[in-house]
Amino acid sequence: MQKRKLGKSGLEVSAIGLGCMGMSFGYGPAKDKQEMIPVIRAAVERGVTFFDTAEVYGPFINEELVGEALSPFRGQVVIATKFGFNLDPDTGKQAGLNSRPEHIKEVAEASLKRLKVDAIDLFYQHRVDPTVPIEDVAGAVKELIQEGKVKHFGLSEAGVKTIRRAHAVQPVTALQSEYSLWWREPEAEIIPTLEELGIGFVPFSPLGKGFLTGKIDENTTFDSTDFRSIVPRFSPEARKANQALVDLLGSIAQRLNATPAQISLAWILARKPWIVPIPGTTKLHRLEENLAAASIELSQGDLRDIESAASRVTVQGARYPESAQRMIDR
């Protein structure tokens, strides 16, 4: 597995990371921990050094899973986690945003224990909190870095102005936001700003929450605990319309003896050398399929074909329900 550096920070990670959220949260019922630990460890054996989690995934159980699975590999891997939500003490559900400095420090202490580490490698603000100046957030993480409890500061789904303001207080190592062939908004302002400032980019949902794998169609049904069941882009009508993009990708993939998922990931890797996607999976064979994308070299002609295919399809449906959309910083 090739390595990449996240911007100018010097933080080096595998070219493809592993998003661990879906093992515990978001995509149906939580999977059995004893079945997921071997998947995470298999990723390490195959060269993955970058793992993504958050306190809110579960909540808490995903950090515990990642901490246990990676405990034999201390010092060999980079673990990213996140702060920024209030969690209801009774139900564990999200109860609004909270990036107050004292809360950030409480979350850091709790995450350190669950992850079984002395320092959090990369600590992201999960969503921008409009009630707390981003300078205060960056300042709190800066203090944690000075105390040796955090190594790098990150933002998630932050807009350009927020990124600049945060970066002026504490250099931002990475921005994590959704980016794929079916969500390309970051190309307009975000990616040029990251390039200018020397910040790495970590796309989540690089396979369009599974849609770009070609394994989902208009007849697919989602469990009530799968958040795609309330995402407009995954309504049956939208899936039927969006299938055209997957079909075009599939024809390109067939010609290159690859899968649509591999072409989607290889396309992201070809965008910039400081972009590191973090596809998630709970299955070993999908992990291997995804990681193989790092060795696919797309020619300029291939990239033109992908661009041409993507330009012929207008993806239908919002990427989040309205309640989640309101948490996106602009």
Q: How far apart are CA 105 and CA 279, in angstroms?
A: 28
> Torsions phi, psi of 110, nearest 5?
-70, -40
Strands 50-52 and 78-83, by their bridges, are parallel
Put residue 142 in one of left, alpha, beta given phi > 0 → left and psi -120 to 50 → alpha.
alpha
Put residue 98 in one of left, alpha, beta given phi > 0 → left and psi -120 to 50 → alpha.
beta
The helix (run of H) or strand (run of E) holding residue 48 is none
Is 124 catalytic? The answer is no
> Which of 311, 215, 214 is closest to 253 using CA atoms?
214
Candidate list 57, 124, 179, 320, residue with the active-site label:
57
Put residue 272 in one of left, alpha, beta given phi > 0 → left and psi -120 to 50 → alpha.
beta
Check: CB of residue 97 under 8 Å from CB of residue 131.
yes
Alpha-helix runs per DSSP H in 76-156: 101-115, 134-146
Check: CB of residue 266 under 8 Å from CB of residue 296.
yes
Check: CB of residue 277 under 8 Å from CB of residue 17.
yes
Neighbours of 329 (CB within 10 A): 19
**DSSP one-letter code for 119:** S
**DSSP one-letter code for 275:** B
**DSSP one-letter code for 27:** B
Catalytic residues, by residue number, are 57
